Structure 1
Amino acid sequence: MKKAFFASILFAAAALVPAFSQVQSEQLIQVPNIDVAGFAEMEVVPDEIYFSVSLREYFTDEKNQKDKVNISTLEKQLIKAVADAGLPKESLSISGVGGYQNYVDKKKKPATFLENKQYELKVSSAEKLDGIMAKVESRGIQYANVARVDHSKREEFKKQVKIDALKAAKVKAEYLVASLDQKLGKVLSIKELDENLVFPQPMFAKANMRSLSAESADAVTDSDVQYQKIKISYRMQAAFEIK
């Protein structure tokens, strides 16, 4: 008897749920409202630049394949240069290890395997890279180029852009409603429509790195580097009651 009683209550409650939802939906539709979208964008100069640096072994006497400069020697130079630049140890990390065969004359001398090593170096500006690379033997530098850029406060900027986009939606709703001699009421819903983050590669106007020059460390000048700004944009949708 008790089981039948509880089953009846559950059946009645289940029947009421869709009916209650329908009433809520009808009430929401009956409330005069306006649904608008707001857009906001922010441009910031990157303060985190990640360089990909590759070092490789070489012979000071290339013709006779003598006096090899080991990768460990080049790595020590790079590590010291990073420390001298005032950067934390974590700024430099190994991203890859490889090697290649150095062919001169197979008949006279067999090929020698030379090791190379890739690193990721995080700096705040390209000028830092100039000073660091100037302290590494130029013949041991295979390349040094930008891998990516970022900003240390990117998440804070994203929050601010979302808020600005939502405020823009409210302003739009206010002047549209005001044009009909009405007033804006409470917010009914908020929805994030899309996110757009653009991290462009920097454009080098001039490069003065020692890997591309025979200048001494003291003679290396700052790079004339122009970076495109990081673009952060959001579009927010909001519905407001019309009084």
Structure 2
Amino acid sequence: MKKVFLLGFALAATALSTAFAQVQTEQLIQVPKIEVAGFAEMEVAPDEIYFSISLREYYQDEKNQKDKVIISNLEKQLIKAIADAGLPKDALSVSGLGGYQNYVDKKKKPATFLESKQYELKVSGADKLDVIMSKIDSRGVQFANIARVDHSKREEFKKQVKIDALKAAKDKAAYLVASLDQKLGKVLEIKELDENLYFPQPVFAKANMRTFSQAESADAVTESDVQFQKIKISYRMQAAFEIK
């Protein structure tokens, strides 16, 4: 019985040793491969421009604090101007509420609270803003400036740049392997190394945009001199390929 047990143990040990040796052999025999990185970049002009607009209440008779122009009337002017410009209702959204105290003489009159309201307006071009703002009482406009820019097909562009970067990696691997009289095999691994999205602020050709108070009608509006840098999208992709 003891001999049978020892024989079984010896056979099992031999089998384990053989299996371990095979694993070691497979680890030593690695598949020849090449790892490279590819880069691609795309520049596109923004087609979504987001303006930040602030309206505030005021008195037509500032000295005596009479004839108050309320925020709702100013907002109606803004909404109508946007509709007249052919923009959809959802182009305008409220981004904030606030106010400030206004007084002429603290000793004679108590300070009064005047409401202000901030909006975000989405347009396709900067020239739209001049047309819209010319139809709003200029004294009720606290400021109007460009907050940010974007592109409606940004996600599609990102996908395309990734594909182009991966193709660039494959092309690089192919000509490097070909220089050694070898051929490129199947892909073994793909990694996304980094992403770079650059959304520039507008570059003004002139020091400032048109002063809204100078334009009392749409006819007085001139074309905007705002020029935009392009949005820059870039990716770097890494890929490993088998060498045949």
How far the C-alpha of 1:28 sits from its partner, in A, is 9.3
The residue aligned with 1:132 is 132
* Cα 1:28/1:70, change in 2 over 3 Å: farther
The residue aligned with 2:223 is 222
CA contact (8 A) 1:133 1:209 kept: no
1:149 maps to 2:149: yes
Task: Output aligned runs, 1:103-122, within 5 Å.
Answer: 103-122=103-122
Q: Choose 1 or 2 for highest CA Rg.
A: 2
Length-normalised TM-score, structure 1? 0.87
- Give the counterpart letter for 1:112 in structure 2: T
Describe the superposition over 1:61-103 as per-residue Cα deviations: whole angstroms up to 9, x where unpaired: 1112111111011000000011111111101011111111002
- Give the counterpart letter for 1:92 in structure 2: L
How far the C-alpha of 1:117 sits from its partner, in A, is 0.3
Two-structure CA RMSD over aligned residues (Å): 2.2
Structure 1 gaps, min length 5: 1-15
* Cα 1:85/1:214, change in 2 over 3 Å: closer
How far the C-alpha of 1:215 sits from its partner, in A, is 4.7
The residue aligned with 1:12 is none
Query: How far apart are the structure 2 equivalents of 1:44 and 1:137?
Result: 36
Task: Output aligned runs, 1:34-49, within 5 Å.
Answer: 34-49=34-49
Query: How far apart are the structure 2 equivalents of 1:81 and 1:87?
Result: 9
CA contact (8 A) 1:32 1:241 kept: yes
* Cα 1:34/1:144, change in 2 over 3 Å: same
Per mean C-alpha deviation after superposition, the further-off stretch among 213-222 and 151-160 is 213-222
Q: How many percent of aligned residue pairs carry the same amino acid?
A: 83
Length-normalised TM-score, structure 2? 0.86
- Give the counterpart letter for 1:231 in structure 2: K
SS of corresponding position for 1:218: helix
Query: How far apart are the structure 1 equivalents of 2:25 and 2:215?
Result: 75
1:202 maps to 2:202: yes
- Give the counterpart letter for 2:226 in structure 1: V
Structure 2 gaps, min length 5: 1-15
How far the C-alpha of 1:149 sits from its partner, in A, is 1.0
